[in-house]
Chains A and B, each alone.
Chain A
Amino acid sequence: MRWLAYLRPGDWLVIAASAAVVALTLPLLWQGGFAERAIIRQDGRIFAEIDLGGRREVAVPGPLGATLVAIEPGRARVVADPGPRQYCVRQGWLARPGEIAICAPNHVSVQIAGRTRAYDSLSY
């Protein structure tokens, strides 16, 4: 490459150092934190706060029946819900902090929480 001839040894050093700086600042893009916990609410009260570390399923009792929540490393979702429209089920996996699935008929919500709270809630 002709262009490479213009690079002196120190230039490579500066490029490498700059790339390192860029790499170091990259986590800022995920400042909301990674998905760490799932907060399950029933009737507005916290029913369970589960660490997104292992695999498990939680049945949350509500006025219509049980809402089934699946927890996996780094993500969570509503597997089954007795509600008529199944919005929270169809929302699928929640993996980013702040994401929330609300099963309104059964008064159950599942929210992902990270290190920091970027916003109170998300509306779709």
Chain B
Amino acid sequence: MTASVTELTVTAEDRRVAWLATAAVALSLVDAAIPSPLPGVKPGLANIVTLVVLIRYGWATAVWVSGLRVLAGSLLLGYFLAPGFFLALTGTTFSLLTLGLARHLPGRWFGPVSLSILAAFAHIGGQLLLARLWLIPHNGVFLLTPVFAAAALVFGTINGLIAARLLGEIPAAEPVR
């Protein structure tokens, strides 16, 4: 038997990303199971994981976890490469970019709730933009902006509070990078 040419070494970081992404995917499934009055209005519970990861392990890990969550979540829910997938991808990209900037805000004043709300607004903003440019090329898309914005505020706040609580309860395993 020949020895394998490529050797995949799994680091502790890889395992951590995998576990956290699993948790995020599980929350995505819970999210999908919650009935929504309007497509696009949903709690986005998986973002709790993103927030915790961002604050605990840094932005790069958060990007990995979010990316894997969108990919695996779409495969499990059956919308991989469907319009919903690109909406999710755009929303996630926008909120990750926003989080990348917002995490530099002074932590004494701005906690997880701020990050969560800003990310939620970036998420819905990105999605509306993509919907306007690609899916529904008509300004009528923006008519529902108030509903989406209100949802972003409410769910952003709730998710932020949950993330803050989790961060308070789980002691840091290692220093924040």
Co-assembled chains A and B: yes
Report the separation of the CA atoms of residues A6 and B110 in the bound assembly, to the nearest whole angstrom: 10
B residues 121-168 with Cβ under 8 Å of A? 121, 142-147, 149-150, 152-153, 156-157, 160-161, 164-165, 168
| B112 contacts the other chain (CB 8 A) | yes
| Distance A19 CA – B152 CA, assembled complex (angstroms) | 10
Query: Which of B112, B117, B149 contacts A15 (CB under 8 A)?
Result: B117
Asked if A122 is at the interface of the complex by the 8 Å CB criterion, the answer is no
How far, in whole Å, are A55 and B168 apart by their CA atoms in the complex? 62
Q: How far is the CB of A114 from chain B (nearest CB, A)?
A: 14
How many A residues are at the interface, by size bracket?
10 to 19
User: Which residue of A8, A18, A28, A31 is within 8 Å of B153 (Cβ)?
Assistant: A18
Which residue of chain A is the closest to B148 with respect to CB atoms? Answer: A25
Within the assembled complex, what's the spacing in Å between the Cα atoms of A7 and B157?
Answer: 10
Given A6-B112, A18-B117, A18-B153, A28 and B143 touching (CB < 8 A)?
yes
Chain B residues closer than 8 Å to A6, beta-carbon distance = 111-113, 160-161, 164-165, 168
- Asked if B93 is an interface residue, CB under 8 A from chain A, the answer is no
B111 adjacent to A10 (CB under 8 Å):
yes
Residue-wise interface mask of B (61-81) relative to A, using a CB-CB cutoff of 8 A (1 in contact, 0 not)? 000000000000000000000
> Chain A 20-31 against B: per-residue CB contact (8 Å), 1 yes, 0 no?
011001101101
Query: Is the beta-carbon distance between B121 and A18 smaller than 8 angstroms?
Result: yes
Residues of A within 8 A of B160 (CB): 6, 11
- Interchain CB contact under 8 A, B145 and A25: yes
CB distance from A9 to the nearest CB of B (A): 5
- How far does the Cβ of A65 sit from chain B's closest Cβ, in whole Å? 42
Please, which residues of chain A bring their CB within 8 A of the CB of B143? 28-29, 31
B105 at the interface (CB under 8 A from A): yes
A-B contact pairs, 20 of them (CB 8 A): A3-B161, A6-B161, A7-B111, A7-B113, A7-B161, A8-B109, A8-B110, A11-B113, A14-B117, A15-B113, A15-B153, A21-B149, A25-B145, A25-B149, A28-B144, A28-B145, A29-B143, A29-B144, A29-B146, A29-B147
- Given contact pairs A7-B111, A14-B117, a sample of 13 additional A-B residue pairs in the complex whose CB atoms are under 8 Å apart: A6-B164, A7-B113, A8-B114, A10-B114, A11-B111, A11-B114, A13-B114, A15-B113, A15-B117, A15-B157, A18-B149, A28-B143, A29-B146
